[in-house]
Amino acid sequence: MDDALDSTAYKSLETGTLTVAQAGQPPTTAPYAMRRLGLDDLAAVFTVQQYVHGALEEPSLFYPGTRELLSECLSDRGLVVGTFVGGRLVGFRSIFYPGPSADNFGHDIGLHGDALDQVAYLDRTAVEPAYRGNRLQIRMTTHAIRLATEIRPCVHLFSTVAPTNFASMKDKFTAEMQVVRTTRKYLDYWRHLFYRNLVSPLGINATTAAKVSGDNFATQLDLVEERGYVAYGIERCGANAPMISFARPGRPIRPR
Ligand SMILES: CC(C)(COP(=O)(O)OP(=O)(O)OC[C@H]1O[C@@H](n2cnc3c(N)ncnc32)[C@H](O)[C@@H]1OP(=O)(O)O)[C@@H](O)C(=O)NCCC(=O)NCCS
C-alpha cells in the first residue's frame, strides 16, 4: 500500500471527550480521537455506514455510498476523516473529487471545462446514534474541507442534503455553504444542492432576506428555483420545524 494512504501515517486531527447516550440510562462520557482515514479503514467505514443507515427512521434521508465509492474516497479521489472511541470508528465524513463527469454537480450551476476539475463534494457522513449531539459532523467537516484544499486545488465545493435533514443542513451552513438549487437526485429524491466558492464567496444581498419554515418545502423550492434566492442559515424553533434563512446572492452564482 502507498505509504501516504496507510491510515497509521495520518496524524491526529483532534482529541477530546464525547457525551455518549445510553438507552434507559444517564449519558456517560468517553475520550475520542479524530484522524484522516486510509484504505485499510474501508471495512470500518462501510460497517458504520450500514449501521447508521439501518437505524434510520426515514432511510431516504441518507443514500449510502457503494463500497467502490467509499474506496475511491479513501484513495486518490477524495479523503475521509473519522472519529474513534476506544479504537473503534463511530463516525466519518467523506470528500469526493468527481472529475469532469456528466453527473458532476457543477453542471447544475453552469460550470464547464476546467472548472469541473476543481469541484469537490462533501459526500457522505454518518455518526452512530449513541455519539450524536456532540457536533461531530461539523468538526469532521471543518477538518475535511481544510485537508481537501491542501491536497489539491479545489474551488467549487458541493453537497446535497434532503430538505428535512436539518442536522445535516446545519453542518453545511456552518461550512459557509448556500443552497443554490433544489432538484431531484439519487433515484428521484428531492435534494437541496449546497455550494461554496472557496475562492470568491457568493455572499448575500441582506435587503432581500426572508425566513421560511423548514416544513414549507413548496416555498423553498419556489424561492430557489423560480426566484433566484439562496438559503444561507437555519435556526431551531423549539418543538416546531426550524426556520431557514433565504436571500438573493450577493453576486451571480455562476462564475463569469
Ligand atoms: C447528520 C448526522 C451526521 C449529524 O450528527 P451530529 O454531528 O451528532 O449532529 P448534532 O446532533 O451534534 O447536531 C449538529 C447541529 O445540527 C443542529 N440540529 C440538529 N437537529 C436540528 C434540527 N432539527 N433543526 C435545526 N438544527 C438542528 C444541532 O443543533 C447542532 O448545531 P448546534 O450545535 O449549533 O446547535 C447524524 O444525525 C447522522 O449520522 N444521521 C444519519 C446519516 C445522515 O443523515 N447523513 C447526512 C446525509 S449524507
Asked if residue 201 is part of any domain, the answer here is yes
- pLDDT value for 7: 62
Residue 226: count of CB within 10 angstroms of its CB: 8
Asked if residue 14 is part of any domain, the answer here is yes
Q: What is the pTM of this model?
A: 0.91
Scan for cell 453545511, then name that residue.
Answer: 172
Ligand 1 center–CA 243 separation, angstroms: 15
Asked if residue 254 is part of any domain, the answer here is no
Asked if residue 194 is part of any domain, the answer here is yes
User: Whose CA is closest to 195, among 162, 147, 155?
Assistant: 155
- pLDDT value for 6: 54
Note the pLDDT tens digit of each residue in 189-236.
899 999 999 999 999 999 999 999 999 999 999 999 999 999 999 999
Distance CA 191, CA 186 (A): 9
- pLDDT value for 255: 59
Note the pLDDT tens digit of each residue in 75-96.
989 999 999 999 999 999 999 9
- pLDDT value for 185: 86
Distance CA 215, CA 131 (A): 26
Ligand 1 center–CA 169 separation, angstroms: 8
Q: Which residue segment(s) compose the domain that 23 sits in?
A: 3-249
User: Whose CA is closest to 71, among 52, 44, 50?
Assistant: 44
Distance CA 98, CA 120 (A): 7
- pLDDT value for 61: 83
Ligand 1 close to Cβ of residue 63 (< 6 A): no
Return the CATH number at 15. 3.40.630.30
Ligand 1 close to Cβ of residue 104 (< 6 A): no
Minimum CA distance residue for ligand 1 atom 1: 168
Per the structure, how many domains does the chain have?
1
DSSP structure class, residue 226: I
Ligand 1 center–CA 134 separation, angstroms: 9
Asked if residue 256 is part of any domain, the answer here is no
- pLDDT value for 4: 45
Give the residues of the chain that fall short of pLDDT 70.
1-9, 255-256
Asked if residue 59 is part of any domain, the answer here is yes
Ligand 1 close to Cβ of residue 39 (< 6 A): no
Asked if residue 103 is part of any domain, the answer here is yes
Kindly provide the b/e burial profile for residues 96-131, where b requires at least 16 CB atoms within 10 angstroms of the residue's own CB. Answer: bbbeeeeebbbebbebeeebbbbbbbbbbbbbbebb
Query: What is the number of the ligand 1 atom nearest to the C-alpha of 131?
Result: 8
Ligand 1 center–CA 127 separation, angstroms: 9
